[in-house]
Structures are given as structure tokens and as C-alpha cells.
Chain A
């Protein structure tokens, strides 16, 4: 069961449907840590229309950050691209050693349920290696994670499933 993000599939009216492969110039797959998030102008205004955030594409491609959804890297059947929007949550979860984003990361990487607690412990222990600098991109974090997994006997098998 493959899970990809549905940007272009639903975007008949979308104007920026020209998606890029991961690593392409307009693909936000290289989003940096603490990328931040631009918000709605004001709460009152947002709640009168229920928050499409003034996004002219109606948010249809926003989750993919302009990346092509067809060539997404998948692990254990799930797309790594899905983690792109969760970098901040993931960094926090990994720093404390537990949390929803960290569990999700394990699932996306195909880590079996019985190995997830160990995965959380190992990635927590190697936090500074996985998030090595403030401007790490999602791609860096991914590569660093695989390097850490390779060196752990129980988790090495998850580092080769590309």
C-alpha cells in the first residue's frame, strides 16, 4: 500500500502544477529545519472564511512543496516526502526520544512495530549526528538517519530498503 501525497492529482485548477522531482529546483524536499510557516494575516479574517490562507492554489499542492509526487522516494511503502512538513516536530521528538512525529518517521522508514522503541532510543542517542546543524535539509536528515541505522545491528536492515 503506497502512500503518496496527492498534490497534482486533485489540481485541475491549480496553476503551479509543474512539479519537480526531489532535488529539482522548485521542489521543497530540501526544506531546511526551522523553515517556519507563513500564516494567515489575522485571526478574525481567517475565521470568516475558514482558513484557506489566501492560497490561490487552494492548498492542493502545498503539502508536496512543489515536488513531483510520482517519483517520491518510498520506504516500506510510505513516502519520505510526507515527512517534509514535519521536520520541526521530528527534531523535537527526536531530542526528547519520543513523540508522534518520531513514530511516524519510523513507520515511513518501514521500521517494524517491535523495533520502534529501539529506533526511538537509537535516534535520540544520535540526535546531534542526525540533526547535525541548524540549516540541515530534510535530505540531510534522511541521509544522516540512514547512516546511523547502518551502524546499529538491529536497525541496519532498514537502511537499505530504498
Chain B
């Protein structure tokens, strides 16, 4: 593998110095001027380095023609100019000529310098590839968050490249998608995989894959809705972008979950498509895919938005109008297709049977997700399809949920005033990302929470400052169980927090805890949940270095006209005898998209101290 890379690098780089004289003479000043043009900077994926100068995001020597090309846009430009002028020997493979390896660079230099005397090279492989992709327009695709996978709230974005006939023929399923993702080789165990993914341990590569494959990955396997933003790029602009993607085939980038991720790379591509855009300025620190969508929308690129519901949502919508009895039939049919011939079943009205057997088929396919083909299941699905074909159900009409990019911004600034016992305090907080159960709800699923890095500082009367809370990450997933689907609800969190203790009422402890249980839909906008929890804690009041506890966490979550309300009870029963319980109430008042007011009240109980009450009113500003 490595050998191959080195070999490739040699093929490309070695002959350059020898043929420099073939290139036309371009003055140093003109070269310098060209090398500073935004388009050239985009093609090389350069960014300004931390100590001035340039640095390329490309982490792969074979992408550069000049030895110092990763840092010197100008050197890379001269080397490119020389390389595209290299005469083609009869023994050479034309597809390895610089003109064929770098079609976007070649076209741009030819246009800028009016190069009329370039050697003619027949780039067969590139031409074939380009004419097969046949780029005409582009669509930014955003798979939305899936409730039972809160980390998917960060989402992903990819670009679909459509041919000219896609709109008239409705053949988006035949389009290709440009995907940027980490390249995972071998069989790392999964913890390592997540860690390396976050920390940049895997290289990032562009891939061109059938869109249909991506669709089934997201809609069926991951149960995520898809949003498709049709961009107003012209055929020429789209083509320019696809030409550049060819230059990036098998080229390695660094991949970091938070910034140098899929979204960032796609924004770069869009800037190649339309050089006037400056989408990247807005992402100095992190690029969360919804923010990408916002940036693309704000720059006027979006002309139309399509929505594709996930398979799970389709199943739940289909089952919605069914009565308890009818849902029982769904379960029976999906387990045993012979029930289709039962007299009791056939006694039901035909239009109800159409709904029941369609739901049963969808449930069967849902269960088959991620599984190997099973002959019994295939036979069941097949016979259900046969029944559907004789009595087709009406089309599903699924209402579009709120646009994800119109939800609140990802970072939150918080300021609150409150009293604890008889002491007043002010509290200041910053949360890097993203959403909790009570936050402004538009565009987010009810019952999903993911928070990364939250710090809260508290200032008591007498100017006494203290760290109140530091969360590294908090994830909660409260997915309602239904007759047909019984997902688990779960949560994990870890960090520093204050608890009731022997000395003073607030003792800073470090902890990790998690829980699992169930959530039930009690009304249209009302969820009830109950989870069993476990906790380990380091607490100076305890003798042991770490103390374990088991407990519960239960409550209600109500979406009301003001905002979300949560009512929770929690208990932790430590093995050392301490029992800690909390009752809390939180009501959000949604003032505007990026502004909220939250009232929190709680009462804490402990074996080590008398109960304490706390009330706080907090402003939440979602900004950036």
C-alpha cells in the first residue's frame, strides 16, 4: 500500500524539473498574483497557517506537484504549469499526465493565462468518468437527527450530483453522491473507532457513491429523515466542482469530527463551484452540519427543499390510524403470513385490511434492518407484498416536520438569578453544543438531548464565586414505546457537579452515570419516562475513592404552548448508605428562535444534610 503511494508520488513528481523549459515564461509577479487568487487557494485547500503563511488541509504528498506545495501555493502553481506542458511520450500512460490528473487546475490555468499551445493529451479515464456522472445540477443532502441516536443531531451532509434529466424523469435514485467521510481500514474495535474518529486518527477521503445506496443507509438502517436542498448551481458550476473532485480521488485529508469534517469539505467544494462565495469564514471553530445548511441557505444557493421521511416514520404514520385490535393484527400478520387467510381477518373491511397488511409489511422490513437475509422472513414479506398488490393502500401523506436549519443555534449562553435556601446567587453558563429536553423545540425531536462541554459558574452574595457544574457530555434519548416498536430509552452523562454534603451544603464531586428504561406516549405532546440508573462518584465526604450507587430517574415531558416542561424525580442509593434524591421542575418559555427564558425549581434530599430548595430564572441565548 505504502509502496504504491510512493510509486504514485514518484510518477507524478519525478519528471517535472526536467521539463520546466517546455512551459511558457510567465513573470514572477503574474505567478504570485495568480497564486493568491481565491480559486487557486480553494483548489489547493489552503488555509492561512497559525504563524502566517499557508498550510493545506490535504494530508497527502501525492496531491502536490512541488516538494513544498503543501505550504507554497506559488511553488505548486509553477510546478503545475510545468507539468501540464510536459510533452507526452509514446510510452506514457496519458491518464497519468498532469492534465488528466488535475483537470480543474488545467482548465483554470488555461483560461487565466490563455494557454493555447498546451500539448494535446487524451484523458480517456477522466472523460469517461465525467460523462458518466454527467453533472448538471447539485443537491445538498442533510440526513436529520434520529431520536434514538442523539449523536446524529450533529448530522452529516453530502452532495448529490444530478444529470440533466433527473427533474423531468424523476430518476434521482440513479444519481451519484459525493460523500466525505473517514476512511476506516481493518477491524478496530468500536471504542477505538469512536475515539479515533473524534480525534482525527482516520484519514478523510472523498467518495462517489450511488445516491440510492446512501438513501437506504440513512432512511432504512439509521431511520433518519432526509432533507434535500436543491442548489441553484448552473451546469457549468456543478461541472467545475465535479472536475475538482476527480483531483481528490484517493487523496487523504485530516478528518476531525468537530471541524475538518464532511460539512467543512463540502463548503470548500461549493466555493470551487462558485468562486465568489465565502462560506468558510463563518466556521472558525466548529462546523455542525445544520450550520452548514444555514450558511448555504444564507448565501442564496437554495432554490427548493424536498423531504424524505425515514422508513420508521412511515411505519409509525401508517399505524397511527389503526385501533388496538388492528394493531394486534399487524403484529400477528408480521409474525405469520398464514393469518392473511384467517376468516376473522378476512371479515374486516377491505380498506382496513389494506392499511393493516401494509403496516405489517413495513414492520417486517423494519425488523430485517441490518440483518442477514432470512428465508422465512423473505417468504413472509413476499406473501404480504402479494396481498398488498391485490388491495393496495392509499398513499401515505406525511406532514413535513420543522426545517432543521430553522432550529435554535448550536451554542448557548446562559445567565440566571436565583435563591438557594436563603442565599441569593447569580449563575453564568456556556454550553458549546447543543440541545436539552427543555430547549426551544422547533426543528428538534421531543425527548432527545445532547450536550457537549457545559460550564456553569455561580456567584453568591458577598462575591463568592464557585464552579457549579462542568459537563463533558450528556446524552438522553427518550423514545416512546408503541404497540409495534419497543425501543429502549437511555442516558449517559459525566463531569463535575455540586451535591448536598457534610460540610456546607454544596460539595463538588466528579461523577459518571447512566441509565436505561422506557418512555411512553401519554398524550399528543406528553411523554412519561422511567429509567433505572447506576452512578460512580468521587466525593471527599466518602471514605472510598469512588463510591457506586444505583437508583432511578423518572418524569414527565410536556410540550405546551409556552415551551417544554419537564417534571423529574431522581434517586441515588449509595452502597455506603447515603441516599440522595431530587425533585425538579423546569419550564421553558420560548421568546424567539434564539432566545428562551427558563424557570427551574428543585428540592434536594440527603442523609448528610437537611433538605434544600432552589429556584432560578435563567435567560438562554442560543448564539452561533
Contact = CB atoms under 8 A, between A and B. Distances in A.
A84 to B, nearest CB: 10
B605 interface: no
B149 interface: yes
Contacts of A49: 181-182, 184, 193, 197, 202, 255, 257
Contacts of A86: 173, 212
Contacts of B174: 3, 78, 82, 104, 107-108
B171 A48 contact: no
A95 B385 contact: yes
Contacts of A108: 174
Contacts of A56: 184-186
A48 B194 contact: yes
Given A10-B129, A56-B184, A96 B392 contact: yes
A34 B435 CA distance: 38
B531 to A, nearest CB: 18
B176 A6 contact: yes
B87 interface: no
A104 B173 contact: yes
Contact of A2 (B8, B132, B197, B382): B132
Nearest to A43: B149
Interface residues of A, number: 67
Given A38-B370, A56-B186, A48 B212 contact: no
A34 to B, nearest CB: 4
Interface in B236-254: 249-250
A133 B553 CA distance: 50
A49 B373 CA distance: 27
14 contacts: A2-B132, A5-B210, A32-B378, A36-B374, A41-B190, A50-B181, A50-B261, A59-B207, A82-B210, A95-B385, A96-B388, A97-B392, A128-B389, A131-B382
Given A49-B182, A113-B168, 10 more contacts: A3-B174, A9-B129, A12-B250, A36-B368, A39-B217, A40-B222, A41-B190, A47-B156, A53-B217, A59-B209
Interface of A: 1-6, 9-10, 12-13, 32-56, 58-60, 62-63, 78, 82, 85-86, 88-89, 91-92, 94-98, 100-101, 103-104, 107-108, 113, 124, 127-128, 131, 133-135
Interface of B: 1, 4, 8, 125, 128-129, 131-134, 146, 148-149, 151-152, 154-156, 163, 165, 168-174, 176, 179-187, 190, 193-194, 197-198, 202, 205, 207-210, 212-213, 216-217, 220-222, 249-250, 255, 257, 261-262, 361, 365, 368-375, 377-379, 381-383, 385-386, 388-389, 392-393, 395
